[in-house]
């Protein structure tokens, strides 16, 4: 068979498999997969350095399908090139417990690098991978030796991705930082669910990316393999700027009636149209999930992938012998290991904001995690999250501090991309707690993927003061606690903050969010209190006046000190009181039932929580007869101490509320 013939047969196999998957499932998005089959053929068959037999080798090229709705395109390519994705799994597309879900899922399907679906996320994730590649290259490559870190990130994105603001935010960051190992393909099919893009998306996308500092090319026909090859070669040669190739395609290419229609985006073509398309392509319309033997042989990349990895392994062995100390650091980085460090401790009574304590903790552990990188949304002076002495990434790719600018959403998605890349231990992003709303989609995906990333949010209550209700997060605690697999930690003082960072560094199966104060809080005198290490269990008995309490007061964050004062005053009046510090609901919920019952005895019904946010969710811990000192309204602009006082976060009010509760419950 002539080369052009086997190429076309392979491309059409991707098209027919994609059609068949969607048709059998009676759900999905066939059109983009049919249009971009030539591009997938080139990327998986020729361009990318990947190994289907070992999908996770460190120096592989990364591929991100930001247009995750077109996942049948990727599933077809993975199957045909030899990944562990059988034809039976293709037939089970979108079915219960299949390896072919309706959008690509990280750690679920071999060869899928990141969970995509919400448009724009994959676009920004790819940029995070680009950050990781450049940083690790600057950290581990040596001038006198061939590079051990040298790979690219290939991303397919759609009109929808570019319409989402996160793509603009993150593209700006990529251009500013000269991430030249990024090669993006924009599928310019001019169709969305609502119809033509002419009704919603008319700016000059090429000029947009040129203005953002990208290398921009256009290919007028997605079926023109020669032009695609030339554009890809040009993009690979451009190392000073990220590249985007605008590919003009026709959605549902090959379908006689569905081509260039909005319906082809998100609906099965229908049995009649599938048959007609196969016939037009020269295929037997009665064959389903058919892969010609010559295509399977032509596209299998296991042997090539093994050769590429073996070549790199040989290079890596030479590098390891030449630079044994760097090899030790490499192993620690790729294993996600944290080196030895000492938790700082503060003297009783010392007053400082937990954001300031957090900064001191970061300086204490920064050498234990030499490949940690991250930054803030243009707020590093306020969030105190600089790795001092680590350098600025925009000055040098070895810099550990990334200036994300005022781009919270992009920051979150980029940090996720750094996290899935591997080698950069515990990447982090930071802003004010209220602006976690701007990055919520990325935070949710970090939890969904189980990424070991850290979110550092400061100015975490109405106590921030004069900036007023727009900046004061009264509903935010509850909103974040609603995200499964996210640990939301609100430490009470400086010493609890150190332990909060400790659990954030040690967690491997999901993100940890640190909620830190702007206002100063006194360091608790632990002489008659439990140690701050109790934070590791999510909640612990901080102090009690007797072993059989009649009343339990539960505090979080900066309000724990106030809660303790109230408990002592009530005890002085003869009440048997227990004060519980509960910095992390999620960790406490994971403790054995007997420990939870030990801290919060079920027989004690008088329980009062103290936290400057809405009470939603607290019924889980205070019970149906307990109460909450909470805020069911927005904040106000005034000095933080005044705001807290006016809203009832003072000793007299907490004591009065507790006494009233005890009387009511008794």
- Cβ(428)–Cβ(400) under 8 Å? no
Helix (H, G, I), strand (E, B) or coil at 437: helix
Cβ-proximal residues to 661 (8 Å cutoff; 6+ apart), any chain: 551, 606, 608, 626, 627
Identify the CA nearest to 431 among candidates 471, 481, 480.
471
Q: Dump strand ranges (E) for 143-242.
A: 153-158, 182-188, 191-192, 195-196, 215-219
Half-sphere exposure of 149 (CA within 13 A, CB side): 25
Bridge partner list, 540: 581
Q: Is 475 exposed, middle or buried (0-12, 13-18, 19+ CB in 10 A)?
A: middle
HEC-encoded secondary structure of 84-112: CCCHHHHHCCCCCCCCCCCCCCCCCCCCC
Q: Is 538 exposed, middle or buried (0-12, 13-18, 19+ CB in 10 A)?
A: buried
CA distance 430 to 377: 6
Note the Cα 247 to chain centre separation in Å.
Answer: 28
Residue written as token pair 């100063």: 520
- Count H helices and E strands in the chain, helices first: 27, 20
Q: Which of 133, 408, 544, 611 is flagged as catalytic?
A: 408
129: number of Cβ within 10 Å: 31
Identify the CA nearest to 153 among candidates 120, 176, 129.
129
Residue written as token pair 């109460």: 627
Cβ-proximal residues to 192 (8 Å cutoff; 6+ apart), any chain: 159, 160, 200, 201, 262, 265
Q: Respond yes or no: is residue 311 known to be catalytic.
A: no
Helices (H), 336-421: 354-365, 380-383, 408-421
Identify the CA nearest to 291 among candidates 109, 30, 86.
86
CA distance 624 to 462: 27
SS3 of the chain: helix, strand, coil, percent, to 5: 45, 15, 40
CA distance 400 to 619: 42
HEC-encoded secondary structure of 38-82: HHHHHHHHHHCCCCCCCCCCCCCCEEEECCHHHHHHHHHHHHHHC
Residue 276: what are its φ and ψ, rounded to 5°? Answer: -65, -40
Bridge partner list, 454: 428, 512
Strands ordered across the beta sheet of 577-581: 540-544, 577-581, 551-555, 607-610, 627-629
Cα first-last separation, the chain: 88
DSSP characters over 140-151: H--TTS--S---
Bridge partner list, 246: 186, 218
Give me the count of residues in the chain.
666
Q: Cα dihedral angle (584, 585, 591, 592), rounded to 10 degrees?
A: 150
CA distance 130 to 179: 6
Handedness of CA 492, 495, 497, 502 (dihedral sign): negative
- What are the catalytic residues? 408
């Amino acid at each position: 068979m002539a080369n052009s013939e086997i190429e076309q047969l392979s491309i059409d196999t991707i098209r027919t498999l994609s059609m068949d998957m969607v048709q059998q499932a009676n759900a999905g998005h066939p059109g983009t997969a049919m249009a971009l089959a030539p591009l997938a053929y080139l990327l998986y068959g020729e361009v990318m350095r990947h190994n289907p037999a070992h999908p996770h080798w460190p120096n592989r090229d990364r591929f991100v399908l930001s247009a995750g709705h077109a996942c049948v395109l990727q599933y077809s390519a993975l199957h045909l090139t030899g990944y562990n994705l059988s034809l039976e799994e293709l037939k089970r597309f979108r079915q219960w417990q299949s390896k072919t879900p309706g959008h690509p899922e990280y750690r679920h399907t071999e060869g899928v690098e990141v969970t995509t679906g919400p448009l724009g996320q994959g676009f920004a994730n790819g940029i995070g991978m680009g950050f990781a590649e450049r940083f690790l290259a600057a950290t581990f490559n040596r001038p006198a030796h061939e590079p051990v870190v040298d790979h690219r990130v290939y991303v397919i994105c759609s009109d929808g991705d570019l319409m989402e603001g996160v793509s603009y935010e993150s593209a700006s960051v990529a251009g500013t930082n000269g991430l030249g190992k990024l090669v993006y393909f924009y599928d310019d099919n001019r169709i969305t669910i609502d119809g033509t893009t002419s009704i919603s998306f008319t700016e000059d996308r090429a000029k947009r990316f040129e203005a953002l500092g990208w290398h921009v090319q256009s290919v007028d026909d997605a079926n023109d393999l020669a032009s695609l090859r030339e554009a890809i070669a040009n993009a690979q040669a451009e190392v000073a700027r990220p590249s985007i190739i605008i590919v003009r395609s026709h959605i549902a290419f090959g379908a006689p009636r569905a081509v260039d229609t909005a319906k082809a985006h998100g609906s099965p073509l229908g049995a009649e149209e599938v048959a007609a398309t196969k016939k037009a392509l020269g295929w037997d319309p009665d064959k389903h999930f058919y892969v010609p033997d010559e295509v399977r042989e032509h596209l299998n990349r296991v042997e090539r992938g093994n050769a590429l990895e073996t070549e790199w392994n040989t290079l890596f062995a030479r590098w390891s012998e030449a630079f044994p100390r760097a090899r030790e650091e490499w192993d620690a980085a790729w294993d996600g290991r944290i080196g030895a460090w000492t938790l700082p401790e503060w003297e009783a009574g010392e007053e400082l904001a937990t954001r300031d304590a957090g900064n001191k903790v970061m300086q204490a552990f920064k050498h234990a995690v030499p490949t940690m990188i991250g930054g803030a949304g243009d707020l590093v002076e306020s969030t105190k999250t600089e790795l001092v002495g680590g350098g600025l990434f925009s000055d040098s790719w070895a810099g550990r501090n990334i200036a994300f600018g005022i781009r919270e959403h992009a920051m979150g998605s980029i940090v996720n991309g750094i996290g899935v890349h591997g080698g950069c231990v515990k990447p982090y992003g930071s802003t004010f707690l209220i602006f976690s709303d701007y990055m919520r989609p990325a935070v949710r995906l970090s939890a969904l993927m189980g990424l070991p990333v850290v979110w550092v949010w400061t100015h975490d209550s109405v106590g921030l003061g004069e900036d007023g209700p727009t900046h004061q997060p009264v509903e935010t605690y509850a909103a974040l606690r609603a995200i499964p697999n996210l640990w939301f930690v609100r430490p009470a003082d400086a010493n609890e903050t150190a332990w909060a960072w400790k659990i954030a560094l040690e967690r491997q199966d999901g993100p940890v969010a640190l909620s830190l104060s702007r206002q100063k809080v006194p360091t608790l005198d632990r002489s008659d209190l439990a140690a701050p290490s109790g934070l590791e269990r999510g909640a612990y008995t901080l102090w009690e006046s007797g072993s059989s309490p009649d009343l339990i007061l539960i505090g979080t964050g900066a309000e724990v000190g106030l809660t303790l004062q109230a408990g002592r005053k009530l005890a002085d009046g003869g009440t048997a009181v227990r004060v519980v510090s509960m910095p992390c609901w999620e960790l406490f919920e994971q403790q054995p039932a007997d420990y939870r019952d030990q801290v919060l005895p079920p027989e004690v019904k008088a329980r009062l929580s103290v936290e400057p946010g809405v009470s939603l969710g607290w019924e889980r811990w205070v019970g149906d007869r307990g109460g909450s000192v909470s805020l069911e309204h927005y904040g106000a602009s005034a000095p933080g101490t005044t705001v807290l006082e006016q809203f009832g976060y003072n000793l007299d009010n907490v004591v009065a509320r507790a006494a009233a509760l005890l009387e009511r419950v008794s």
